[in-house]
Chains A and B, each alone.
Chain A
Amino acid sequence: MKFWRTPLDIDQLKIPKGDVHILEERCKGCGFCVEYCPKGVLKLSDKFNSKGYHPPVVIKPGECVNCDLCEMICPDFAIFCLRVEEVNKEVASES
Chain B
Amino acid sequence: MSTSVEPAVKKEHPMEKILRMDRIPHIWCPTCGLGTVVTALATALDESEIDLNKVAIVSGIGCTGRVAGYMKLDSFHTTHGRAIPFAFGMHVARPDLKTIVFSGDGDLVSIGGNHLIHTARRNADLMVICVNNFIYAMTGGQVAPTTPITAKSSTSPFGNFEHPFNLPLLAASSGAVYVARWTALHIRRLTKAFKEALNKRGFSFVEVIAPCSTLYARRNKLGTGLDLMKFYHDNCVIKHGCDLKEVDIDYQSKIIVGKFVDIEKPTYIDCLNKGYKQVFGDKYKPYGGGDGNNGN
Contact = CB atoms under 8 A, between A and B. Distances in A.
Nearest to A61: B1
B187 A53 contact: no
Interface in A37-95: 53, 58, 61-62, 69, 71-78, 80, 82, 84, 87-88, 90-91, 94-95
B229 A95 contact: no
Interface in B11-62: 11, 13-16, 19, 24-26, 28-36, 39-40, 43
Contacts of A72: 36, 39-40, 43, 187-188, 191
B1 A62 contact: yes
Interface residues of A, number: 34
A88 B32 CA distance: 35
B8 interface: yes
B36 A82 contact: no
A contacts with B: majority SS: mixed
A69 B35 contact: no
A82 B9 contact: yes
A75 B14 contact: no
Interface of B: 1-2, 5, 8-11, 13-16, 19, 24-26, 28-36, 39-40, 43, 185, 187-188, 191, 224-226, 229-230
Interface of A: 19-21, 23, 26, 28-32, 35-36, 53, 58, 61-62, 69, 71-78, 80, 82, 84, 87-88, 90-91, 94-95
What 10 A-B pairs are tightest by C-beta distance, nearest first? A75-B35, A28-B30, A61-B1, A30-B31, A72-B187, A91-B8, A75-B36, A30-B30, A80-B13, A62-B1
